[in-house]
Amino acid sequence: MDINHLVNKKLNFRKPAVDFSDLSDTIRCQILEIKNERLIVQLSNDLDLTSGKLVQMVYIDNAQGIYYFNTEIVSVEMPLIKLKLPNKIQNYQRRQFVRVEYQTEIEFSPVSYQGENLTHLEDKKGHGQMIDISGGGICFKSDIKLLEELVIDLRFRLNENDFEILGEVVRVLKKGDEYEIGIKFDILSSKVEDQISNFVLQQQIKNRRRKLVVSE
C-alpha cells in the first residue's frame, strides 16, 4: 500500500507492538497531509508525547486486512504531531482466529454427510441464533440437532453484508431445550475470509471499548 492512500483515513495510534488481536487501547487519529517528507497527523486525544519517540500507526481495511508501520515523532504541537515518512507499510496476515460474541439470525440447509450428497434436501431449511463468530467458524444455537461431520450451507448477515458459506459441524452440545452447534467454515474465497476476519476484529474493538465505558 502507498502511504498517499492513507491521507484523510482514520487510523489507530499506539506504541510499537506485534499483537494485533486487541486494538482497544489505541488512540484514533487521522493523517491530514504529507508535507516536506513528513506526515501531519491529528490525534483524537491529547497525549504526553516527545520528539524522537517511536510509534506505530495501524490501518484496518475492510477488504484487505490490517496495514501498519512504525515511525518516529519529529515534533509535537497538540493535537497535531509530525512523523517521519515510514520506510515501508506492512500487511498483517491474521491466521489465528479470535472469537467475538455476536447475535444474528442464521439459516442453514444440508449439503453432504460423510461424502453423501444431500443437496436434494436443500429446501429443508433450519434456523438458529448466532452466539459467536471468528474468521474460522461460528457457534450458534438451534432447536434442531445436527450430526457432527454434516456439511451445511449457512446464510447470515454481519452488519449490512449478507454471507452464504459452507461449514462443517464439529461440535454439538445439548443445552436445555436447544443445541449449541460449533461450525468450521469451508471458505474458498480469501476475500470472504478477510471480510469476516475484519468484521471480527472491529467487533472486538467495539465490544472492549463498550466494556471500558460501562466500567467507568
The 3-state DSSP class for residue 214 equals helix
Q: Is the pLDDT of residue 172 over 90?
A: yes
pLDDT at residue 214, rounded to an integer:
43
Q: Are residues 205 and 105 in the same domain?
A: yes
The 8 Å CB, 24+ separation contacts for 171-176 are: 171/139, 172/145, 172/146, 172/147, 172/148, 175/141
* Residue 181 to residue 173: CA distance in whole angstroms: 7
Residue 216 lies in a domain: no
Q: Which residue do the cell numbers 475484519 mark?
A: 198
In the structure grid, which three cell numbers stand for residue 38, read together? Answer: 513528513
Tell me which residue range forms the domain holding 31. 3-92
Residue 161 lies in a domain: yes
CA 122 to chain centre: 30
Cis status of the peptide bond prior to 79, with omega within 30 of 0: yes
Percent of the chain scored above 70 by pLDDT? 89
* Residue 113 to residue 121: CA distance in whole angstroms: 12
Residue 215 lies in a domain: no
CATH number at residue 134: 2.40.10.220
In the structure grid, which three cell numbers stand for residue 184, read together? Answer: 468450521
Q: Are residues 139 and 168 in the same domain?
A: yes
Q: Are residues 114 and 163 in the same domain?
A: yes
CATH number at residue 61: 2.30.110.10
Q: Are residues 156 and 192 in the same domain?
A: yes
Q: Are residues 124 and 204 in the same domain?
A: yes
Which pLDDT band, with edges at 50, 70 and 90, does 38 fall under?
A: very high
Q: Are residues 37 and 125 in the same domain?
A: no
Digit-coded pLDDT (tens) for 131-159: 999 888 999 999 999 999 999 999 999 98
Query: Which position has the higher pLDDT, 123 or 108?
Result: 108
* Residue 63 to residue 152: CA distance in whole angstroms: 25
Q: Are residues 88 and 53 in the same domain?
A: yes
Q: Are residues 84 and 133 in the same domain?
A: no
How many domains is the chain partitioned into structurally?
Answer: 2
Asked whether the beta carbons of 190 and 203 are under 8 A apart, the reply is no
Question: Which domain-ending residue is among 30, 57, 92?
Answer: 92
Q: Are residues 85 and 169 in the same domain?
A: no
Q: Are residues 22 and 65 in the same domain?
A: yes
Residue 214 lies in a domain: no
Q: Are residues 106 and 42 in the same domain?
A: no
